[in-house]
Amino acid sequence: MSYKDLCAEVVNGDVEKVIELTKKLIEDGKDPLEIMNQGLIAGMDIVGPRFKNGEMFVPEVLMCAKAMDTGIELVKGALVDTEIPTIGTIIIGTVKGDLHDIGKNLVAMMMESTGFKVVNLGVDLSEETFVEAVKEHKPNVLALSALLTTTMSNMKSVIDALEEEGLRDKVKVIVGGAPISQGFSDDIGADGFAPDAASATELCKDLIAS
């Protein structure tokens, strides 16, 4: 019984095994934060690169994330009065006119699984909604998603709205979605572009560290 075993079951996406091992480690008096970091999150640290390299696919990643989330809920129960450390806060949402959320939700799950606090605002969001969320949550990064070429321009509208409110220099903005490219990101003044969930997570870590 070890953190390595728990990590392996997260990679396998085996929810039942993750529940069993997490409970056993908690009962054995192991440090809940160690269970989380060295067992549960460590598993997703393996899944992320495999997904990026095409060795794992979306359904498998979703099962792994579900397994990890289930374990983390158990750990939270053992962490009474202990603040779970985060490596940063991310706000994520799909821009106005666009109702696509599968890719966005996968990015949000991947980010949560690596230790970010994620505020997932949903889809079809106005510039004002993003601005208000940035004011309220004071995130390190704002992640904008669009899957339609017709809604891409609304990403720039959000960045312009942040400029107008004097918030642009207080938050990093990244963009993603099928029609988005590094060139488009540069053109609208975003801080970065990510083609997939694993890359988005790495990009956020780099932006926060810089």
pLDDT of residue 85: 76
Which among 10, 75, 77, 15 is positioned nearest to 48, based on CA atoms?
10
- The average pLDDT across 185-195 equals 97
Average pLDDT, the chain: 93
> What percent of the chain has a predicted confidence (pLDDT) above 70?
98
pLDDT of residue 81: 64
The per-residue pLDDT for range 32-89, each reduced to its tens digit, is 889 988 999 899 989 988 998 999 998 999 899 899 989 988 998 887 666 677 899 9
Q: Where are the beta strands (DSSP E) in 51-191?
A: 89-95, 117-125, 141-145, 172-176
> What percent of the chain has a predicted confidence (pLDDT) above 90?
76
pLDDT of residue 86: 85
Distances (CA, A) of 146 to 102, 177, 203: 11, 5, 18
pLDDT of residue 76: 84
Which among 125, 152, 130 is positioned nearest to 141, based on CA atoms?
130
Other Cβ atoms less than 10 A from the Cβ of 109: the count is 22
pLDDT of residue 135: 98
Cβ atoms of 190 and 145 within 8 Å: the answer is no
The per-residue pLDDT for range 147-167, each reduced to its tens digit, is 999 999 999 999 999 999 999
Whether 3-78 and 89-209 share one fold: the answer is no
Q: List the domain boundaries for the chain.
A: 3-78, 89-209
The superfamily in CATH containing domain 89-209 is Cobalamin-binding domain (3.40.50.280)
Q: Phi/psi of residue 133, each to 5°?
A: -65, -40
Domain 3-78 has CATH 1.10.1240.10: yes
Q: Please report which helix (H) or strand (E) contains residue 45, including its range.
A: helix 42-52
The b-or-e profile of 111-144 (16+ CB within 10 A means b, else e) is bbbbbbbbbbbebbbebebbbebbeebebbbbbb
Instruction: Quote the tokens at residue 135.
Output: 């004011």
